[in-house]
Structure 1
Amino acid sequence: MCGIVGLFLKDASLEPELGAMLAGMLGVMCDRGPDSAGFAVYGAGETGQLKLTLRGPAGTVFSGLQSALDEAAGARVAIVARDTHAVITIPATREFAIRTALAQIAPDITVVGVGARMELYKEVGLPSDVAIRFGLDRMAGTHGIGHTRMATESAVTTDGAHPFSTGTDQCLVHNGSLSNHASLRRDLVREGLSFSTDNDSEVAAAYLTSRMREGDSLGEALEHSLKDLDGFYTFVVGTETGFGVLRDPIACKPAVMAETDRYVAFGSEYRALAGLPDIEHARIWEPEPARVYFWDRAA
């Protein structure tokens, strides 16, 4: 049992409040997944720049990387540290050089997400505490997704927490269990993908990456997952410009959505949505099985 939340803003005046609303939704889902939590927020971006979200061991002093990162980037690198994570903003053309430098000077630091707008945070602990540690309530943006985890198929670790990144500006959270993830993982490894956990959700994320490398759109990759993934699952996927929802054909995991003129919201239970503005006038519905839903700011 895990909890998923997602929030997509239509009204730009709500953007300063995105993090506060998402934090409230995440906190309500604590009892669905008390062992770890994570979230991705899509905020402002700059043309020609990439954000790399880094995770280090407790006590990592990210500012100590400044000179080495500046040298690798050929420019001043902005570093914003938040607890065990930091977001660095770099020239997009220097991503490989930055990753190479990090591997050499700070091998204990992991890149957990990359994108023009996406920042991705996850840690072990009660979800409400994780949100406080990273200052989620003070973050602004256009949309975000979050997850509270109750580990059932793998260890309670930060690596095993969601979201899992599925590519640039893209990540996935999952509620459910896949029955064929071990065999699918072997196939994906043969394709050259690598894994850091035994989590079946990481396999789902890698599967989407594989399909999109073959030329699928995200929607097509999600459609193919209905045939290739066995088990029961609800996916919420964040992209640079929107977010999507998919439930398996049986749809035994709970899910509810709300839409107003100002936002679209997803929760594993209605109570995660109950504190949103004007919720009493929202259209409330349960997403249909085996149907891909997607909201996109670029549309």
Structure 2
Amino acid sequence: MCGIVGLYLKNPALESQIGELFTPMLIAMTDRGPDSAGFAIYGDEVADDWIKLTLRHPEKNYDWKALAEKIQDELDIGVEWFQNAKVAVFKLHTTDAIAEAYLAENACDVLILSAGQSIEILKEVGLPAQIAETFNLRGMKGSHIIGHTRMATESAVTMEGSHPFSTGMDLCLVHNGSLSNHNRLREELKREGVKFETDNDSEVAAGYLTYRLQQGDTLTEALEYALKDLDGFFTFTIGTRDGFAVVRDPIACKPAVMAETDDYVAMASEYQALTTLPGIENARVWEPEPSTIYIWERSSDDKRG
């Protein structure tokens, strides 16, 4: 049993408040996932010729400044960075391939939690309230955010095994449920070049979507394939640079509820996580249908598969 929450702002005036709005939503899912929690926030975009990486190191006092200076000197590129608790966000004037290859060769003990122009993933072992405080979630700004509270059943309680999972540019996934064919799919995806950091079944789902998108599929098409190829029960919420998506398995085994106003679209595993949102009493509230793809993006209207 896990908890999912997501918030997509249709009203840009609320972007400075997204952390304040989202924090009670995440904490409301504590009973569904008390062992770890995390979130992916989209905002503070870099230009297309830059890459933004969320990095984590096992050592609490790792010298991020030294790493930034080394990258700047050896690659001769622009580097901006800041630290947030145990992670650091690096903005590099280069491509993701060059940045990731450099880290793999020169800082192989640094874990890349996310890569893109907008995304930052922050996650940790512990209660959701503790994690929200650790990363100053209330003070964050952005256009959309998805989060997860975990009750581990498929793998150990570790930071690496917590959600969200990201295996593609500005793409991440959170999952409530269980996949029965993830081991076979993991091996198939590895042969196609998809890399995995954990044995969590949810990371396989994230990797599967990344693979489909790399084949040229749209997000809707990738999720349509997922409904055919991923065996199990699930509610997925997927974050992208432009918005977020929600999809449930063909029998809608895991709970989910959605709410929409002129200002936002929100989803949660339980309605109680939505009750602190402004205007929720006048929102359109519904349960997403089985095998139905819901997508909200800045460049398009609500789409349903």
TM-score by length of 1: 0.96
Counterpart of 1:74? 76
Aligned equivalents of 1:106 and 1:166: distance in 2? 19
Report the equivalent of 1:293.
Answer: 294
1:162-173 matches, within 5 Å, as 162-173=163-174
Q: Per-residue deviation at 1:104?
A: 3.9
Output the CA distance in 1 between the equivalents of 2:294 and 2:29.
22
Secondary structure in 1 matching 2:40: strand
Q: Which residue of 2 aligns with 1:133?
A: 134
C-alpha contact (below 8 Å) 2:30/2:127 kept by paired residues: yes
1:62 Cα deviation from its structure 2 partner: 1.4
Kept after mapping to 2: 8 A contact 1:73/1:97: no
How far does residue 285 in structure 1 lie from its aligned partner after superposition? 0.4
**Over residues 222-249 of structure 1, what are the superposed CA-to-partner deviations in whole Å (9 max), with x where a residue is unaligned?**
0111111111000000000110000001
Residue matched to 1:214: 215
CA contact (8 A) 1:160 1:197 kept: yes
Distance 1:219 1:65 in 2: 39
Paired residues, what number? 298
8 Å contact 1:256–1:268 — kept in the other structure? Answer: yes
48-57 vs 271-280, greater mean Cα deviation: 48-57
| Pair 227,113 (structure 1): closer, same or farther in 2 beyond 3 Å | same
Aligned to 2:154: 153
SS at match of 2:163: coil
Unaligned regions of 5+ residues in structure 2, if any?
A: 301-305
Name the % identity. Answer: 56
> What displacement does 1:59 show?
2.4
The letter for the 2-side match of 1:24 is P
Relative to structure 1, the CA distance from residue 166 to residue 104 in structure 2 (aligned partners, 3 Å threshold; closer, same or farther) is closer
1:4-153 equivalences under 5 Å are 4-47=4-47, 48-57=49-58, 58-93=60-95, 95-153=96-154
Runs of 4+ in 1 over 4 A off after TM superposition: none
Q: Distance in 1 between matches of 2:248 and 2:34?
A: 23
Shift in Å, 1:182: 1.1
Shift of 1:73: 4.3
Aligned-pair distance for 1:96?
3.5
- Quote the residue 2:196 is aligned against: 195
Please tell me whether the aligned partners of residues 72 and 98 of structure 1 are also in contact (alpha carbons under 8 angstroms): no
